[in-house]
A = this chain, B = another copy of it.
C-alpha cells in the first residue's frame, strides 16, 4: 500500500536519533549499565546523556534507578518493552533498506 519511503518518513525519532540509538543499542548489549559507563562507551557529555535518558525514561524505553546510601550511583536498563522497541527498530531499518532497493516507480 504505502511506499517504503512513506514508512521511512514515519520512523520514530525517540529511538532513531543518533545519541539515543547509541545509548539503547549499548544497553541491548549490556543488560544494564551505570551512568559513567554509558557515558564512556557512547562518548556523550554528562548533560547530554542525562537529558537523553530522561527522554527515554518518559518514553518507557529505559528505567533509571538511583542507589541511595553509600556512593551515589545510577543504573540504567532497558524495560522489556524498550528492548523490543530497539530490536524492532533495527529490524525495521533493515527491512526498509531492502524494500527500497526493490521498489520501482508505479507507472501511471
Contact = CB atoms under 8 A, between A and B. Distances in A.
Interface residues on A, range: 35 or more
A22 B43 contact: no
Given A26-B100, A103-B29, A41 B11 contact: no
B41 A25 contact: no
- Say how many copies of this protein the assembly contains: 2
Contacts of A103: 29
Given A29-B101, A30-B105, 15 more contacts: A2-B43, A5-B25, A5-B26, A5-B41, A5-B43, A6-B22, A6-B42, A6-B43, A8-B42, A9-B19, A9-B44, A28-B100, A29-B104, A93-B93, A94-B94
Interface of A: 2-6, 8-11, 13, 16, 18-19, 21-23, 25-26, 28-30, 37, 41-44, 90, 93-94, 96-97, 100-101, 103-105
